[in-house]
């Protein structure tokens, strides 16, 4: 199938100035909120994994589709509202997801660092209340990206790991990666998650960008389009079909996986999904 997809436009500007986007700075004019210029690339070939010979794996393409029903009663209401932290379902789902990742990746330990509930309706606004993103459905991402640049991944794990764990990583005794588990709450009819075969996205295709918030700066990476990149999706992905993918690995000197969400113009029901991000530690 072919989709029209959004990539960062390759400009001489980025040879001199790093791309950036501001979040939460309402007093800054719209034209100063970002220096990023994106382009829509028409008719990008995206391969449907369902029923195909290809069975992507984390070690090869950089992601896997896994059949994994949840024991938690997930719904949009669970993730929205003032009782998000007290209803127990969110905590149970995070623990369940951590156990799944620990078993699947034969990890020594797993640390959950973030979760997000997203809805594709009105996603083009991409505006969120950065004060508390845990009480709202936030918009889907619409551009090709990596969650963390190489430096950004190191900065993030330092926020959560103990000094002895960081020292073990630096000595090569522990391997660290950041893993995302993405689950739709219902069968996806619009705005599916599309994944790149990491082997077809070179370091030259990626450019680090600053995400500037009121209290911190994080580093992501955007993607330049190349015709030899290879993209995948799972048509009509069900709630029991998750995508597990590393977004960053300490031992590789590149951003590990490129992924993005395609914002469909379909009038069908909006896509609702939850993602859990975890630091995964294993013995070298």
In angstroms, the CA 163 to CA 142 distance is: 36
Mean pLDDT value of segment 80-108: 87
Write down the pLDDT at residue 126.
45
Q: Which domains does the chain have, with CATH numbers?
A: 2-283 (2.60.120)
- Give the rounded distance of the alpha carbon of 129 from its chain centre: 19
Question: DSSP string covering 163-225, please?
Answer: HHHHHHHHTTSEEEEEEEEEEESS---SS-EEEE-GGG--GGGEEEEEEEESS-EEEEEEE--
pLDDT tens across 237-269, in order? Answer: 999 999 999 999 887 665 555 566 665 555 568
Mean pLDDT value of segment 262-280: 81
Helix (H, G, I), strand (E, B) or coil at 76: helix
- Beta strands 2-8 and 38-48 are antiparallel
Lowest mean pLDDT among 51-65, 111-125, 186-200, 224-238: 111-125
- Mean pLDDT of the chain, nearest integer: 88
pTM: 0.91
Instruction: Give, as one character, the DSSP assignment of residue 270.
Output: P
Mean pLDDT value of segment 191-216: 92
Write down the pLDDT at residue 58.
93
Write down the pLDDT at residue 127.
47
- Beta strands 20-23 and 206-213 are parallel
Mean pLDDT value of segment 179-184: 96
Write down the pLDDT at residue 84.
56
**Backbone phi, then psi, for 6, in 5-degree steps?**
-105, 130
């Amino acid at each position: 199938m072919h989709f029209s997809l959004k990539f960062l436009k390759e400009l001489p500007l980025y040879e001199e100035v790093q791309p950036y986007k501001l979040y939460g700075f309402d007093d800054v004019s719209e034209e100063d909120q970002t220096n990023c210029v994106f382009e829509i690339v028409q008719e990008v070939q995206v391969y449907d994994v369902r029923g195909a010979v290809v069975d992507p794996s984390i070690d090869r393409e950089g992601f896997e589709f896994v059949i994994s029903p949840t024991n938690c009663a997930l719904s949009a209401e669970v993730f929205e509202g003032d009782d998000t932290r007290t209803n127990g379902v969110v905590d149970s789902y995070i623990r369940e997801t951590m156990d799944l990742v620990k078993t699947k990746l034969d990890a020594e330990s797993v640390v959950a660092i973030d979760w997000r509930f997203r809805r594709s309706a009105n996603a083009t606004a991409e505006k969120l209340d950065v004060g508390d993103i845990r009480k709202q459905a936030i918009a889907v991402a619409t551009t090709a990206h990596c969650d963390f640049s190489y430096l950004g991944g190191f900065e993030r794990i330092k926020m959560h790991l103990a000094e002895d764990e960081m020292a073990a990583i630096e000595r090569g005794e522990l391997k660290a990666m950041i893993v995302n588990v993405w689950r739709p709450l219902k069968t996806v009819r619009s705005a599916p998650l599309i994944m790149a075969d990491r082997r077809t996205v070179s370091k030259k295709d990626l450019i680090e960008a600053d995400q500037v918030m009121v209290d911190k700066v994080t580093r992501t990476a955007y993607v330049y389009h190349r015709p030899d990149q290879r993209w995948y999706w799972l048509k009509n992905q069900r709630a029991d079909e998750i995508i597990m993918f590393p977004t960053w690995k300490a031992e590789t000197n590149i951003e590990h996986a490129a992924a993005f969400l395609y914002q469909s113009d379909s009038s069908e029901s909006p896509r609702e999904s939850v993602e859990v991000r975890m630091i995964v530690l294993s013995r070298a």
